[in-house]
Chains A and B, each alone.
Chain A
């Protein structure tokens, strides 16, 4: 917490944008000609059907994948022109299925988040330790610090990994399906934590989500992809309607206000209605 308040006052806007972005795996084109602006200071959710390129886009946004065409900019600067370490000081990433080194403890894992802040031979500093403590506190993993990560429950493990991303101390966080493999309670835990990071620490969050209702509830900005192209983008309430769900997910539904939050809630039509719809294709 201390580290976030120590930030210089002239905040960068942390606006990520893609310009005619093409992303490929070998010969297979995944994202084509994507023009997108991900507003700084907001929580953006990227949604879309399986294999629409959500995770690929996230990897492209963090230089893990080099564009086959176009570019990605952060506050107007091409991220491929930046040293890897400088980018890592501004943007953290939680991959979809991170590799947990065998028997590593929570604290040892979180300490690795300080990597971009350290020089080759620099010793572990008090600032490093403070950032680690803050990350452990914020994610509620301080009590687990000496536990091996591979023995934690799915929810605890996910929070440990988020703590690593927090220890990296970046204003921008990319999260790839942070709720996968978690039960509902732990899904909500993680999303509440994300909301808190945004509301209390002012972090910009870009996350890939599977659940449209959760995306609508937790995101300020929604990006809907289909087949590697942009289907829609904007505030959930403005973007999410039955027509979009039908055209992107091929599901007939009603979109009603969430009785709890008033955000859009996708309610698929009854089985019979959907089956006739599918048969008509």
Chain B
């Protein structure tokens, strides 16, 4: 009998902390930040509806949102402001959750739709639509299809290794690079008027979204998010490594595939209404981890909220803060996300160094 085991056996009433104290603490923390994110999101939404060329009071904007009040206000809110706002929220949430899923699946803090070829695929799909002269209404479908195509390529090339993590990251990088090259190849051949649109589509923009697009994508994103949360338990088990997960009766390949497809679908759907917006999927999980601790279903939800906040805030900056009009929102997410991510990484590496002393 060992000392430790004996100690707990002979003194079972020793100061054992309340069961799940840390879990409750973390849940409180997630709830706190979740509440904060919701408040922030509502505030940003209010700003996006009330500030700008046609300013109106929140009351008027809210009434206009439900179709009451001045017809002109109703039209502006319902046709211009609300679809763009909804698109930002939906795409941001999809990207945040997709990023979180991918980073955990690949156990790589840099895994994101950008690295895995999904954003490259979305660009490729959108630009292909432009290249063949299809209606601009089909571009979102092109982006969605391109993202899924990239995922398919990834699957084909990485499948034989049983979805091995390292290999998938490498294949993803190759797919991304290849598709980016294909996009460049097409764009340099475009006449000037198409090259401009192509640039807008390969950087990500929320301009001119229609309700048809927004509702279709929003519905699909909600479904995919539901699947993501349902699969969270499997993801947590996968976090233990393949041997432990297999020992717990999880079919690791199937679970990884389910989660991967969910993340890819989320990222591709986001790309369909926002274009390939970079950095949201990459930065959001880090920010959430920094604020709310290790991953739980709660922090996964937080990733969705934080993604929505980040994309909406970036889009507001594009519309109201920048002196130059019409910049793609992806430019802002990248400029906001990159330094923030750097700060986090430096902090983290410092923390690691400290703890190793």
Contact = CB atoms under 8 A, between A and B. Distances in A.
Q: When A and B assemble into the complex, do they touch directly, with CB atoms less than 8 Å apart?
A: yes
A249 B12 CA distance: 45
Interface stretch (A116-124, A220-228, A251-259): A116-124
Contacts of A137: 8, 12
Contacts of A86: 249
B240 A101 contact: yes
A98 B242 CA distance: 9
Interface residues of B, number: 39
A164 B248 CA distance: 10
Interface in A102-132: 102-105, 107-109, 112-113, 115-116, 118, 120-121, 129
Interface string A167-205: 010000010000000000000110011001000000000
A267 interface: no
Contacts of B17: 143, 145-146
Contacts of A243: none
A101 B294 contact: yes
A24 interface: no
A258 B251 CA distance: 44
Select the residue from B22, B247, B251, B293 with max chain A CB neighbours within 10 A.
B247
B2 A188 contact: yes
Nearest to B3: A189
Interface in A80-100: 83-89, 91-95, 98-99
A22 to B, nearest CB: 19
Nearest to A96: B243
B24 to A, nearest CB: 10
Contacts of B5: 138-140, 189, 192-193, 196
A64 B247 CA distance: 7
Given A112-B236, A145-B22, A84 B14 contact: no
Contact of B240 (A88, A99, A138, A159): A99
Contacts of A101: 236, 239-240, 294-295
B233 interface: yes
B241 A103 contact: no
B7 interface: yes
Contact of B294 (A102, A164, A193): A102
B240 A98 contact: yes
A142 interface: yes
Nearest to A120: B230
Contacts of A113: 248
B250 A84 contact: yes
A42 to B, nearest CB: 20
B8 A143 contact: yes
A192 B240 CA distance: 25
B230 A64 contact: no
A104 B16 contact: no
A32 interface: no
Given A137-B12, A168-B248, 8 more contacts: A95-B244, A98-B244, A99-B244, A104-B239, A104-B294, A133-B19, A140-B9, A146-B17
5 contacts: A95-B244, A103-B294, A115-B237, A146-B17, A164-B244
Interface of B: 1-5, 7-9, 12, 14-17, 19-23, 107, 230, 233, 236-237, 239-244, 246-251, 293-295, 355
